[in-house]
Structures are given as structure tokens and as C-alpha cells.
Chains A and B, each alone.
Chain A
Amino acid sequence: MIELAAMTTVCAVEAVPLEGGVAALVDGEAVAVFRTHAGEVFALGNVDPFSGASVLSRGIVGTRGDVPVVSSPMYKQAFDLRTGQCVDDPAVSVPSYDVAVVDGVVVVGSPREAA
């Protein structure tokens, strides 16, 4: 169950480009918020584990098979938007965050436990 009170307000949902992302500051951490073509909203840690740079929100959003992904702008590895799992390297993942759209506003919660 997501506790709305503990979540950080990020921006209006329209401010997240369709099939694009924005970075937000959530409890001092950089979080990337994405919106897919279908209008679903996801949140992952913004730091690309392959380069260490805080840039995932600037990647290209698309699909790998049925999986919605963002590919890192640095070296192009793709991450599953739903879980943060790297699709190109099973040993690597980034944190994924609880996220919701409330009255047209995106709110982000805490990192989920790794599956």
C-alpha cells in the first residue's frame, strides 16, 4: 500500500514528456520520472550504474519486446521501467520508486525493495 502523505510532489504530469523523462530531487536523491506512450508513469534512480553519471532521465524511452525501457544516454544499456532491471546485463539494476499521479500531479515515494 502506498502512503501518499510520505511522498514527494514532483510536477504536473504534462511536464513529463510523453516517451521521455525528467529528473527530480526526492529526499536528496536524484530520481528519473518517465511517462510512456500509453501514459503510464514510472520512477527509477537517475544514476546510470555503468557511468556513474546522474543522467537516466535524459535517455530514450521505448520498448524491448513487450518491456517498456529507457536506454541510458551514456552507453545505451536499457533498463526495465517497471523494475529498474538492466535488460542487457542481468547482474545490474537501478532502484525503482513508488510513483503515482494524484489530481494530475506526479508524486514519488521511497525506493521499492529489490525483487
Chain B
Amino acid sequence: MTKRQRIVVVGHGMVGHRFAQAAVERGLTETHDVVIFGEEPRAAYDRVGLTSWFGQGSEALSLLPGGEYDDPRVRLVIDSVVTEIDRVARTVTVVSPPSAVGDLLAHPGAVTVHDYDVLVLATGAAPFVPPVEGRGRSGCFVYRTIEDLEAIQAASASATSGIVIGGGLLGLEAANALVQLGLDTHVVEMAPRLMPVQLDGAAGSTLVRHVEKLGVSVHTGVLTEEIEGGDAVTGLRVRQAGTEEGAPTTTIEAQVVVFSAGIRPRDALARECDLETAPRGGVLVDEQCRTADPHVFAIGECAAPGGTMYGLVAPGYAMAEVVVDALLDGPGTFTGADMSTKLKLLGVDVASFGDAFATTEGALELTYADAVSGVYKKLVVSEDGRRLLGGILVGDASAYGILRPMVSSGLALPDNPEQLILPASSGAPMGMPDEAQVCSCNDVTKADILHAVAEQGCESVADVKQCTRAGTTCGSCVPTVKNLVEEHFASLGKVVDKGLCEHFRLTRQELFDVVAVHGYRRFDDIVEAHGTGRGCDICKPAIASILASQTSTHILEPATAELQDTNDKYLGNIQRNGTYSVVPRIPGGEITPDKLIVIGEVARDYGLYTKITGGQRIDLFGARIDQLPAIWRRLVDAGFESGHAYGKSLRTVKSCVGSTWCRYGVQDSVGLAIALELRYRGLRSPHKLKGGVSGCARECAEARGKDFGVIATEKGWNLYVGGNGGANPAHARLLAGDLDTATLVAYLDRFLMYYVRTADRLQRTSTWIEHLEGGLDRVREVVVDDSLGLGAELEAEMARHVGSYEDEWRATLEDPSKLERFVTFVNAPGTPDPTIEFTTERGQIQPIAPALIPVGAPA
């Protein structure tokens, strides 16, 4: 038996992680142990999506949420830096934590030495900070790690303006982040245009207009002279490019400066052990990503296969796969990569792919520009006009998904290639060859996707993403993936059935619209006109909810009472023995001692089990159906009202104590939570809704675990949406920041009504946003930018809901016909249900499980 080999990986970034995944998936760990040392304080995360950290936080970005691989033969050691490689002894020296480097006396025992049989360098790249005077002042940052973003966020809290040095892809992303942090933002670029590497002059100036609309001031063609200030930055002094040294300068004031002037491969470890590096940086490796030392490989941004380093993740992933293949004696090679890029900036479409600058001999350019709408498109085609070589799209990149694969697959162009960029036909369906690469980040071809739907049982875009990884990195290919999946099922004559149930072919959203357009008020009319049969436990409650959203009549009105799910039908939650629970509304969790006493008295008088819930309320369990009205009577008389623990409706708006008492609170979170709970109580929705309000960033109300969460800032409120606990927990993401209370409420009205109108049945807000084309950005367009012009209408609908709210318990108590259903037996009103029995546990009642009737034996 041969001894197991040990692979040491230096760096747990995106590429190091992919290497480990591939090693497990392809069976390399059958013969090899893998040990990974990562310098950062956490496991690899999606650096490509780094900017979304501001809304989503670290956890959502993690590529290895538990911090450990399932395969025990792969071991990850974070917070540890490799400081030295001994190629003769085949060892690496590791210092942990990284802060101990240079201070070993203070951290005795922090140094360890580890053997390797194979060493894989995956150390990535570091931001390049040009030698500008004053770059050491506090307030200067780079944009590469989560820690960088934390520092930028903290500094922005007390800053008013910020500058990004560098107008490339990353610089624009950083600028967008500064805008979102509320800073007056400037971008300074030495070249005469933005994104000089990817865009030509015309495209660059079109982009400037878009970026300026986002609130960023763009300064192109300027040189940075000095970062001014004392300990801290106060501004940046710049001079026009092309002017003499000593020529007049101007100062842009700022308290935050972010360098984004390119990256440099982290190849120092290799240089120190005499491995060759490329002239422009990067560990020199061959087509198998092997250095001159056969035991040492380099992959990702630190590597320079054939002398070129690649600053994108897709080539890095390809290199990781190649090395795993090489270690399995496979034939894989890395011979270059697609450098196409698409900007992920909010609301600005920019893409550059293939030979964007027409450097190919004889290449021709076709351009289309519309200055009014800010669209610029350019195609670069071969001399004979038969093949697409590259292109640039600004303002409308919808054709990117079709065009980029045409470049990589060399598909013949149609006779009038300009049709591809003229507005009328943008996105015209084009047969794409099977080998066309659809997802460049993860190298997934059209054939892979078709295989996934045809052979591997994938039924949705979500399945395909999981199974092929397509669309899981930068996301720009998702629309194309979606089209392919839908085309596939359509070609099989299979309409992807989104119908509600056997009685309705319509989706919930379609039904919602049908009901609104026709003004239906009765299930009978709806099922006769648009469905079949007499409905079921799926469509009836869904229609009841739609009718409730549109008409605001009591849910137990004769037209809708029998449509309601059991909990709505009895205005309480059914329990395992057929009794009900009562959860009086306690808005925001605030309650007076007198009311607390009433709850205690009611519970005592009716012998109910009492428990504090997870939603800051008190739940009373074990009420028989015939006891409910009397219990409500007592509660209503004491000023309580229906707590919806039943119904797909608002539950609670959880609060923390906030500025009224807490020494850290910056706003009155209890006051706002109560106001929001009272505003949205009773609103019928596709799934239940929960809210939270925290008085400061410490977030004691766990607002980001709610469908809508509000967190107080010095200037107002940050609004987060799409969070939940439950089976698939999701953190709410930032929709808009620093809002005054009126704007916050307007946005929330719009958000909730948009959700009520368009979500599927039983879709929590997080899943709804995920399935919405355009995701959270789309929600923001509709809610914040009011791009559909729906804002006023959505607010008016909510106003109608708020105006017509009534306490469902009180209304029931006042209507004898509604009270009729609250009896155990119609023909023996006084007789309690004999199957309901209790025992006592810890001083309170507990149901005795009713004897189950043996299955198959009709008793």
C-alpha cells in the first residue's frame, strides 16, 4: 500500500476553495490529504460579490458556511499565514494568527512547520496602491476583503464625502458602495475615460452619463498629486493630465479615499524560494499550472500561466481543475481564458467581451449609439463579416447572454449582423450551438445545461444552478440559463405548470389580477369562469386571501367563511388535540402591568396553558371551540384585539427597547414597531409576515431575520427586506438607507403591497425576491425608484387596508350569525368534546394524545 500524499494549499480564497471542492469531487482525496492555510479570519467567500456584503453581511457571502469540508481528509486552517517555503525539505512555515508575524515574542508557539508532497499556491492578488504622497493617512482604504469593507463602513459613518482612485470595473463598484453609504462620491481616473481597459472612448463617455446619474462625480484625465490632511485624510489634490508639474492643482475634499488602481499578484513567497515570476508579476507556471519545481503549482490570481496573470475568477477556477487533473495524471491544460466582463453596478448595464478593441487584423466595427437613452453598442466582426470577435454594450447589455457565447464558439453570424444590436431585435432568439459557453465563471456550456434538464432531472433554474453551478458566481448568465430551461420544456410541449392546483391553471399572481380586473367577490364566480371542480384546501384559502387583500371584508362573511383554512375559520390556531390557542396582539411587545394581569386572569379562569412565544407575545393554549367567544370577550373588554397567529398575515413587529431606555439606542424603536404593527395588522398576504425594529446597529430585535426589518441609524432608519427564520433562514438585505419615518412607511407600504400582488402562494418574501426577475434590484426599482409608476397606487391600496381594518374577534362577537360556528356539537351545545383530555405537567395542563384509530380499521 502506498503512503497517502499530502497536498498543502496556501490561501483559502475563491480558487483555493474550488481546488478543494474539485479534489473531493474527483476523488483526489482517496489518495491525498489536503491541508489549506488561509490568512483571512474566515473561510473563503464570494469575493466577486463582495459589494453585496453591505446589504447581506458576511454569512451570505461564505462559500463554506460551516467553515469545514464534509470530507474529513480536507482540513482548513484559517487565520494562519504561510511565511516561508523550504523547497528542499518540502516544508512550509505557518504563523498564526497573522498579526503575530514580526511579533513572535508576544505569541510564543504560534509558529508551526508542515511537510508537503505537493504545494499549491493560491494566494490571490493584492490591491495596488500607487505611491501617492499621504497614502498612509487614516481614512485611506483598499477594496478587497470583508475587513476592508468593515473599515470603510465604519469610517463612512462620520464622513461626508469619499473618493475612489481608479475608474475601472472595481473602482466603479467601490464608488457605488460609497454612494450607498451616503457619501458624496467622486471617482478619479488618470485615463481620459472610465473602464479604459474594456471600453473605447464613445462607450466610456456614455458610461460617465450613467454613473453621474447614480450621484457619482467623475473626474477623468486627472493625476493625483497628494492626499492632504494631518493624521486623517481631508482631501485629494489633483492636476489635469498633460499639464506640467507645478501647474495649478485643485483639491477635492473627502474623509475617505479608496484605492482601486489595479491589482498585483501575491507572488512574494515564490520569489523568496527562487521560483521564477513573470515580468509583470505572477508565479510563472506551465499549461498544467506547474512551476519549474514539479512539486509546486500556482493557481488563481497569483499565477501567470505562460507569463500572463488573469484578474478574474473563471480562469482561476479553470486552473484549479487543471491541477486536480494533473495530480490524477489527467491531460487537462490551461491555455488562456475569456476576459469578458460585465459590470454588476446597480442600474448600469455595461459589458465588454472578446476583442473589444478590434485588434484582430482586418476586424470591422459596427456601432449603434442613442445618446438620448444613453445606449452604446459595438460589435467587432471578422474581415469577411462571418464571425463575431467581440463587442461592447453600454446602457443595454441584454444581448450579452447571446453575443458572448457566439464569440467563444465561433458561430457564423447572420447576414445582417447589425440586427443583433439594433433595438428592435435586441435579444432576438438566436440558435446557440451546444458547445457555446453560457456561464463563463463556472465554464458551463449550453450542452451541460440541456443535459441537466434532460438527463439529470432538473426542473427549474434553481435546480440547474445547483447541479451545474451555472449562474452561481457573478449571476450575469442567469437570464440565458432561464431561457434555455424554458425553451427546453416548451420544446417538449410541456408548459412548465405554475398553476395553483388541479382546479386552477393560473398562478396566484394571475388569479390576483383576474380577481382585480373582474371585481369578483365570490369563489363560485371565480371557479366557474377560470377553474374546474369545486376547489380544495389549496385554492380556497389562496382565493380567500386574495379576496381579503382586495375587499377588506370580514373573513367570516358567508361568501368567504368556508374558504378559510381552519385557523382563519375559527380565528385561532388549532392544536394537536383539536383545541385552539389564543394569542392576543401585543404590538411591539410592549404591555402594561394591568394588561399582563388580565392575560393571567383569563388563563387562570379558563385553565389555559400559558407560554411566552418567540414573537414577544403570550400564547394561551387549550381552549375548546365553544370557549373561544367568552375568552375573546374578556380580552376585548380589557382592550386586547385579535392576535394573528393564524392566517397568512402580519404576525408581530418585534422591537428592542431602543432609545427610550437603552443607553445605545439612537431612535425610538418601540414606538416605530408599535406603529408598524398597528398599520399592517390584519393584512392578508401570500405567506405570513414578520417585522422587527432595532434601535441601533446592535440589532437586539433581530430585525434582519424578518420579512421587513428596520434598524435605526443616526440619520433615520435603514430598511431591510426578505429575511426569515424557519426552515430556510435568510438574512434581510438592505433596500434603502437613512430614511425619515414618512419615507420608510411609504417604501414599506409599496414593498408589502407589491409582494401581496405578485408573490406565489406560501412564498415568504425572501423566496419571492429570489424568484423575481432582477431580484432585490428589481424590488428597489419598483419600490424606491418607482420605475413602474406604481408607487402611488400601491400606497393607496395600503391606505385602504389601514382605513378598513377591524378587530376580527370583536366583529365576530358582535354578529350572532358568526358566533354560530363556535359550538362543539350542533345538536348538543352544552356538551364538551369527550376526546379532549388533559394531564398536568409543571403546574399547567397538557393534552393527552387522543387514541389513534388503528389504520385500515373503520372503527
Which residues of A are in contact with B by a Cβ distance under 8 Å? Answer: 8-11, 15, 17-20, 22-25, 28, 30, 33, 36-37, 45, 47, 49, 51-55, 58-65, 68-69, 71, 73-74, 76, 78, 84, 89, 91-95, 111, 114
Contacts and interface: CB of A to CB of B under 8 A. Distances in A.
Contacts of B502: 64-65
B534 A15 contact: no
A60 B574 contact: no
Contact of A24 (B536, B825, B852, B853): B825
B535 A30 contact: no
B577 A53 contact: yes
B431 interface: no
B825 A25 contact: yes
A55 B833 CA distance: 10
B854 to A, nearest CB: 9
Most buried by A among B533, B565, B826: B826
Given A37-B534, A53-B850, A91-B856, A59 B566 contact: yes
Contacts of B21: none
Contacts of A76: 537
B268 interface: no
Nearest to A108: B827
Most buried by B among A61, A62, A76, A111: A62
A71 B537 contact: yes
Contacts of A94: 853, 858
Contacts of B853: 47, 49, 52, 94
A7 B853 CA distance: 25
B578 A55 contact: yes
Given A20-B561, A54-B833, A74-B574, A8 B534 contact: no
B541 interface: yes
A114 B565 CA distance: 30
Contacts of A49: 852-853, 855
Given A15-B820, A60-B563, A73-B565, 19 more contacts: A11-B826, A11-B827, A18-B562, A24-B828, A25-B828, A47-B859, A51-B850, A52-B577, A52-B849, A59-B566, A60-B536, A60-B540, A60-B541, A60-B562, A60-B566, A61-B534, A63-B535, A69-B536, A93-B858
Contacts of B849: 52
A113 to B, nearest CB: 9
Given A8-B827, A93-B858, A95-B859, A62 B540 contact: yes
B827 A9 contact: yes
B815 to A, nearest CB: 15
Nearest to A35: B562
A52 B851 contact: yes
A93 B420 CA distance: 63
Interface residue tally of chain B, by bracket? 35 or more
25 contacts: A17-B558, A17-B821, A19-B562, A20-B562, A22-B821, A22-B826, A23-B824, A45-B859, A47-B850, A51-B850, A51-B852, A52-B850, A53-B576, A54-B833, A54-B850, A55-B574, A58-B566, A60-B540, A62-B535, A62-B536, A63-B536, A65-B502, A73-B574, A74-B574, A89-B855
Nearest to A92: B855
B570 interface: yes
Given A52-B849, A54-B833, A62-B534, A15 B540 contact: no
B787 interface: no
Contacts, number: 133
Contact of B835 (A53, A91, A93): A53
Nearest to A94: B858
Given A58-B569, A92-B856, A25 B827 contact: yes
B831 interface: yes
Contacts of A63: 503, 533-536
Interface string B522-542: 001000000001111100110
A11 to B, nearest CB: 4
Contacts of A89: 855
Contact of A30 (B561, B563, B833, B851): B833
B835 A30 contact: yes
Nearest to A8: B827
B834 to A, nearest CB: 8
In the A-B complex, list the 6 residue pairs whose CB atoms are closest, starting with the nearest: A73-B566, A52-B850, A53-B578, A63-B533, A71-B537, A20-B562
Given A18-B562, A53-B578, A73-B574, A84 B858 contact: yes
A56 B566 CA distance: 10
B621 to A, nearest CB: 14
Contacts of B576: 51, 53, 74
Contacts of A91: 855-856
Interface string B547-570: 000000000001001110110011
A93 B824 CA distance: 23
Interface in B796-849: 820-821, 824-828, 831, 833-836, 849
B835 to A, nearest CB: 5
A42 B825 CA distance: 16
A58 B561 CA distance: 11
Contacts of B834: 28, 30
Contact of B534 (A36, A84, A111): A36
A18 to B, nearest CB: 7
A93 to B, nearest CB: 5
A36 to B, nearest CB: 7
B828 A47 contact: no
A70 to B, nearest CB: 9
Nearest to B533: A63
B829 to A, nearest CB: 10
Contacts of B827: 8-11, 24-25
B832 to A, nearest CB: 11
Nearest to A26: B827
B851 to A, nearest CB: 6
B392 to A, nearest CB: 55
Contacts of A53: 576-578, 835, 850
